Amino acid sequence: MEIFWYIIVVAVLTIFFVLDGYDFGTGIIHLFHAKEEKDKEIVAKAAGLFWDSNEVWLVAAGGLLFMAFPTFYASVFSGFYLPLIIVLWLIIFRAIGLEFRSQFPFQMWKAIWDKSFGVSSLLLALFFGIALGNIVRGVNLGVTQDGEALHEAHFFFLPLWNSSFSPLSETPGVIDWFTIIIGIISVVTLSIHGANWIILKTNSSINEKLKRVVFRLNMALLGLTIFSLFIWQFVNPNIFENFIERPYLIVFPVIYITGLIGLFFRKKSKNDLYPFVFSTLLIVGGITSTLASIFPAVLPSTNDLNGPLTIYNTAAPAYGLSVAVYWAILAFILVFIYAIVQKRLLGGKIDDMDYGH
């Protein structure tokens, strides 16, 4: 049951990053590339009409973690308290930026909330990437000092950064040079995804420009991906061990590579759906490949005294996991109906749809 629920939780989180990921990317594109008011309004609409339904998946993921892996949930939500609070505020400011920008016709008013939407989206993409970097790098479980654990084996608390700014420290911070690189990869990936979403859903005047932007960003992503694999060797020398022992896991890097290669043919594609599918594959392949590299661990330890948190030592009792299956089926039926109805109502181009008035 642990593996079943792990797959479900990862699937829900991945759906969230695919759906709300294009909202983050839309905000980044809005910040840097939407200059005219007509483009700003259309680009904001491309996120504003969808963000609230997309964040349902984040709520679902949190609920599933609490149910299936309560020890991991408790450990992460206490240990990453500072960045989680920052993320909460960023989500708030992104939402009110979208909701408030069109309430008054004053240019200063719109400029303030446009910056709120764009900067919050950029920092959300960065912090979620940093979070993934922390998951694969590991934390100081048990808060070990001088070879002695000061707390329980599942407890940790990270400052935003430490004086060394190094992922190799036994007591790392949330932000170091490794997690920053993963965060930048997240920003680039979601910017590509957001640009493809804008092209797919709007007739904005910047669409042709965005096609060129996607190609350049994809070139940067290729370089960052290769670079990250090299530096990952310093942080965790055994990153390929799981793929050697379990060859079927290779499917996840293949998904990522397919998305990466497919986006290089963006300019030749006349169907705007295909590039969006390729950037979706980037996100799916990137998240699943990263988590597959540390499986069955869900949070490695940076000290030798306490082992990693795994899907087995953090899971709820078997009875609870089995009973939850029936409720999960009902919940997923409702969520999928909601998502399908919403996407059907907002199908096609959204330029002439009303939002924020």
The answer on pLDDT for 327 being more than 90 is no
CA atoms in the 13 A half-sphere facing the CB of 71: 17
* pLDDT score recorded for residue 356: 53
* DSSP per residue, 22-87: HHHHHHHHHHHH--SHHHHHHHHHHHHTTHHHHTHHHHHHHHHHHHH-HHHHHHHHHHTHHHHHHH
In a domain, 355, yes or no: no
Residue 304 CB contacts under 8 Å (≥ 6 apart), including other chains: none
Q: Which of the two residues, 127 and 163, has the higher pLDDT score?
A: 127
Q: Residue 289: which pLDDT band, with cuts at 50, 70 and 90?
A: very high
* pLDDT score recorded for residue 185: 95
In a domain, 351, yes or no: no
Q: What is the pTM of this model?
A: 0.91
For the chain, percent of residues with pLDDT exceeding 90:
35
Mean pLDDT of 7-13: 92
* Structural domain that includes position 120: 2-345
CA–CA distance, 157 with 78 (Å, rounded to integer): 7
* pLDDT score recorded for residue 100: 85
CA–CA distance, 44 with 18 (Å, rounded to integer): 18
In a domain, 354, yes or no: no
Through-space distance between the first and last CA atoms of the chain, rounded to whole angstroms = 48
CA–CA distance, 119 with 97 (Å, rounded to integer): 10
Could you give the number of structural domains in the chain?
1
Q: Residue 280: which pLDDT band, with cuts at 50, 70 and 90?
A: very high
| pLDDT digit string, tens, across residues 193-211 | 999 999 998 888 888 889 8
| pLDDT digit string, tens, across residues 305-315 | 888 889 998 88
Q: Which of the two residues, 353 and 257, has the higher pLDDT score?
A: 257
In a domain, 57, yes or no: yes
Taken in order 63, 122, 177, 259, is the CA torsion positive or negative?
A: positive
In a domain, 350, yes or no: no
Q: Which helix (H) or strand (E) holds 245?
A: helix 241-245
Q: Which of the two residues, 17 and 269, has the higher pLDDT score?
A: 17
Mean pLDDT of 274-279: 92
Identify any residues that bridge with 148 across adjacent strands, giving them in sequence order.
145
In a domain, 56, yes or no: yes
| pLDDT digit string, tens, across residues 115-154 | 999 999 999 999 999 999 999 888 888 777 766 666 777 8
